[in-house]
Chains A and B, each alone.
Chain A
Amino acid sequence: EDKVVQSPLSLVVHEGDTVTLNCSYEVTNFRSLLWYKQEKKAPTFLFMLTSSGIEKKSGRLSSILDKKELFSILNITATQTGDSAIYLCALTRGGSNYKLTFGKGTLLTVNP
């Protein structure tokens, strides 16, 4: 059975801090790992990672995948209160009709 484990489950930081969110996984026939941000309602897509060692970057957010050690990290630099959200990690595997298996998420709170 596929497993996605995120840590920490929750995190409280101050504006300006840098945070690192972790996602480890176990899956047969890995295809991709995805990060989403969920504020009040629908998760919004952040990154999709398929290859080890290639950083994806969008503004203050970046993510990288290690397929040997089976984990990914999501970094947020110079955090702002608008970064407060649940960050979800999910993966797909080959032959699965691209179903997503989600972790439980990390609840990030950024205080002013």
Chain B
Amino acid sequence: SQTIHQWPATLVQPVGSPLSLECTVEGTSNPNLYWYRQAAGRGLQLLFYSVGIGQISSEVPQNLSASRPQDRQFILSSKKLLLSDSGFYLCAWGEGGPFHNEQFFGPGTRLTVL
């Protein structure tokens, strides 16, 4: 069965510091991978998605970047965090085929920027 891992679970960082959040998926090959942010207003906003190694699409302009160095690894980064980067970051994977649109989420990372 497939599992998705994210770490760290919580993170408190000062403004201006770098960020690296990691997501890995087990039990599947060539998944579509997604990074979402959930702010206090509860909606999930898609930040990045990837359909393959080295392929990253950005949904919204922001202070963050993403990379996919391996098939089942997805990394979210920032060189200098802003206060507005605080939130709950969720990684998700999906098969991406026409009959399997559902995505499955990791446990999330709660980031607080002070």
Which chain A residues have a beta carbon within 8 Å of chain B's beta carbons? Answer: 31-32, 34, 36, 41-45, 48, 86, 88, 90, 92, 97-105, 107
**Chain A CB within 8 A of B57 CB:** yes
CA distance A98 to B102 in the complex (A): 8
Interface size on B, residues (CB 8 A): 25
From B14-22, B43-51, B65-73, B74-82, give the one contacting chain A. Answer: B43-51
Q: A34-B103, A48-B102, A105-B43 are in contact. List 11 more A-B contacts (CB 8 A).
A: A42-B105, A42-B107, A43-B44, A43-B90, A90-B44, A92-B101, A98-B96, A98-B103, A99-B46, A100-B103, A102-B43
CA distance A88 to B105 in the complex (A): 13
Interchain CB contact (< 8 A) of B49 among A34, A44, A97, A103: A97
Interface of A is mostly: strand
Q: Is the CB of A34 within 8 A of B102?
A: yes
